[in-house]
Amino acid sequence: MKNLVIANWKCNPSSLKEAKNLFNLIKKQSKDIKKTEIIIVPPFIYLPFLKGLDLGAQDCFWEDKGAFTGEISPLMLKNLSCKYVIIGHSERRKYFNENNEIINKKIKAALRNNLIPILCIGEREEEKKKKKTKKIIREQLENGLKDIKKANLIIAYEPIWAIGTGNFCDFEIAKEIKNIIFETLSKIFNKNNLEKIKIIYGGSVNFKNASDYIKKSEFNGLLVGGASLKSQDFVKIIKSIEKLNNIKFK
Ligand code: PEP
């Protein structure tokens, strides 16, 4: 199983020219990468113009088409050769009031269109302080994946307090959460399906801490925000992962 390194560009950069430039630099500097899967997740409008690396979208609607002004459907994304879609990112939960029920509808819509959902889960700072992390993680998985028995899926553990703060999660704690995610998933999916699901980490990943989330915490990859906007930093992260032997999924 290849390790994943996913770039979430969020609402950046502000022009197509800059987007193409960043994409092409990453592509050029990572041309010798063989064992690591690189996925770029730009804003929707740049998707048709970026070629040569796997692409994902940052969100999708739960219907395929119709009178839903402003929405982008999973069918449209599939037709653009998009392979992945982030669903339930904490910024969507926070600023757009997305709850587990909405997220569940979006996951089903993505799967129906053969997109691979990257389901983001994670606790807020106050929930961590109140020792509610396990409860939140279980609820987000059980409700976000409600009535789904079969899925090609990626789960991204992104503690909200770690996103964009420089305050990344301790490797041992991250490993404990990874195991809780795996246990919860094993109650939802059968063994065959479970083996296909990747669990990745996101939250202030940089080129210094990246490989330890694979080596020490045994994640199957990384979701990178801020550091994916600088090609050199992002490629350093990819190269640090490429150096590692793939850790077998347990
Ligand atoms: C993210 O928002 O998905 C993320 C991981 O951001 P950052 O790497 O900037 O913490």
Instruction: State the pLDDT at residue 77.
Output: 98
Does the residue 36 lie in any domain? Answer: yes
Catalytic site includes residue 158: yes
Within a domain: residue 249? no
In one-letter notation, the amino acid at residue 212 is: D
In a domain, 250, yes or no: no
Query: Which CATH number characterizes residue 86's domain?
Result: 3.20.20.70
| Whole-number pLDDT of residue 245 | 64
Name the residue at shortest CA distance from atom 4 of ligand 1.
225
What percentage of the chain has pLDDT greater than the value 70?
98
The reported pLDDT for the residue numbered 1 is 82
CB atoms closer than 10 angstroms to residue 167: 12
Residue 214: pLDDT band (50, 70, 90) is very high
Lookup: tokens for 142: 């059980």
Q: Which residue has the tokens 């990178």?
A: 224
Q: Is 122 in the pocket of ligand 1 (CB under 6 A)?
A: no
Q: What is the pLDDT of residues 17-68, one digit of tens each?
A: 999 999 999 999 999 999 999 999 999 999 999 999 999 999 999 999 999 9
Task: Give the mean pLDDT of 62-84.
Answer: 98
With cut-offs at 50, 70 and 90, classify the pLDDT of residue 249: very low
Structural domain range at position 142: 3-242
Return the pLDDT at 250: 42
Mean pLDDT of the chain: 96
What is the whole-number distance in angstroms between the Cα of residue 211 and the centre of ligand 1? 16
Tell me what pLDDT residue 70 has: 98
Distance CA 186, CA 190 (A): 7
Domain assignment present for residue 248? The answer is no
Does ligand 1 lie within 6 Å of residue 7's CB atom? Answer: no
Residues 6+ apart with CB under 8 A from 158: 89, 90, 120, 121, 122, 201, 202, 203, 223
Cα(177)–Cα(208) distance, rounded to whole angstroms?
21
Number of domains in the chain: 1
Residue type, 183: E
CB 203 less than 6 A from any atom of ligand 1: yes
Please pick, among 89, 91, 123, 218, the residue that the annotation labels catalytic: 89
Kindly state the percentage of the chain with pLDDT values over 90: 97
pLDDT at 72 over 90: yes
Convert the pLDDT of each residue in 121-164 to its tens digit. Answer: 999 999 999 999 999 999 999 999 999 999 999 999 999 999 99
Q: What is the pTM of this model?
A: 0.96
